[in-house]
Amino acid sequence: MAILFWLVILLVCIFAEIHTQAFVAVFVAVGSIVAFFLALASVPFAVEAVVFVVVTAITLFTLRPSVMRRFARTEVVDLTIPVAGSLANQTGFVEDVVGDEGHPGRVKIRGESWRAVTERSEPIASGVRIIVVKSYGTTLWVEPTDAAKD
């Protein structure tokens, strides 16, 4: 029965770690694996429980800080700063009239429809060929291409 108990603990920890990614349940799972093997060796349950707690505590307090440092995200992405992403300098066509930030429209680039705005004082009409100048998150800032201005 103890073997089943430790297997259930292990499975719950795996499920919890997948859904939380807090790097705590994985160390509890390590303790349950050790206890599981002790249960297979017919060690008394009280000894299994003590070893489980000790192994969990040791791995949690010694390994977790280094794991957290290893997977820590040090770069903060600020979506308010314009980026020249993969769509910069791409061309497409206006689907719905594109105006300023208060009047966004839609453009089609490489077969995909995107929310778009322009810095121009007048809107860009449907069907006009455009070029992407920059992007903020998923909004593209576009201008008519030179060919469309002629």
CATH code, domain carrying 97 = 2.40.50.140
Instruction: Residue 131: give the domain boundaries.
Output: 91-149
In a domain, 84, yes or no: no
Beta strands in the chain (DSSP E): 91-96, 105-109, 112-117, 129-136, 139-144
pLDDT for position 148 = 45
Domain boundary among 71, 104, 126: 71
**Parallel, antiparallel, or unpaired: how do β-strands 139-144 and 112-117 relate?**
parallel
Residue 55: which residues within 8 A CB-CB, separation 6 or more?
Answer: 30, 31, 34, 35
pTM given for the model: 0.48
Q: How many domains does the chain have?
A: 2
In a domain, 10, yes or no: yes
Per-residue pLDDT of the chain (150 residues; tens, 9 = 90+): 889 999 999 999 989 988 887 788 999 999 999 999 999 999 999 999 999 999 999 999 998 888 888 877 666 656 555 555 568 888 999 999 999 988 999 999 988 899 999 999 899 999 999 999 988 878 899 999 875 444
Q: Are residues 125 and 65 in the same domain?
A: no
Q: Are residues 60 and 100 in the same domain?
A: no
In a domain, 16, yes or no: yes
pLDDT for position 85 = 57
User: Which DSSP string do the residues of 50-89 spell out, in sequence order?
Assistant: HHHHHHHHHHHHHHHHHHHHHH---PPP-TTS-B--TTTT
pLDDT for position 65 = 87
pLDDT for position 150 = 41
In a domain, 76, yes or no: no
Domain boundary among 13, 36, 71: 71
